[in-house]
Amino acid sequence: MGRGVYALNRKPDFAPVLSPVLVQLHKIIQKNFPYVNFCVWDSYWFNEFMVHQAFKRHYIIEVEKDATESVFYRLTEKNKNVFLNPQKDMFGKYIANYDEAVIIIPMISESPVVKIKKVNIPSLEKLLVDCLVGDEIFATQQNDLDYIIQTAFERYNINPAKMRRYANRRNIKDKIENILIKYSANII
């Protein structure tokens, strides 16, 4: 499960289904910006953990801060539904009009990222911590937050050390400690 932490019952690692659109976005960025750290993910991945299903689909691209504008301009050459680091009012006025939108945001340094089929995606620990921060991107998930966290801990292997480290980078370490205590029976 992590360094010096062992489990008797092994849960699977989080390995979401990669949509063709997400794979294509990854390829475009990788081809045009080969030296930039980034990851891509799909808001539909949370539907597995939620009671209230999201119908709007957001493809999120997290990229190094210095490259966000370059990636944005590259992706807008072919798509009109691409948004750069949108704020709350932008979600209501513009993004809500699209069933599918591509959202580019700055990536937090040292974010836990994994590869699935050669595609960089955030780890489940990162997604859960980011969801707890409550950014505008995670507004849909806020109503089911407890259920999302509980379901994730029940279904998948979660590395508490990785979660703590990333939570520290996002300044919510105390919040994560409380969650780890609450769901500690499901970690092992």
pLDDT in tens, 82-125: 999 988 778 778 887 888 999 999 999 999 999 999 999 999 99
The predicted pLDDT at position 99 comes to: 87
In a domain, 61, yes or no: yes
In a domain, 1, yes or no: no
In a domain, 147, yes or no: yes
The predicted pLDDT at position 104 comes to: 95
Tokens representing 2 are: 């992590």
In a domain, 58, yes or no: yes
Tokens representing 131 are: 């969801």
Quick: pLDDT tens for 36-70.
Answer: 999 999 988 988 888 767 678 899 999 999 999 99
Which has more confidence, 52 or 186?
52
In a domain, 109, yes or no: yes
Sequence-distant (≥ 6) Cβ neighbours of residue 122 within 8 angstroms: 39, 41, 62, 111, 112, 113, 114, 130
Say how many domains are in the chain: 1
In a domain, 3, yes or no: no
Question: What's the predicted TM-score (pTM) here?
Answer: 0.86
Domain range for residue 31?
A: 20-187
In a domain, 11, yes or no: no
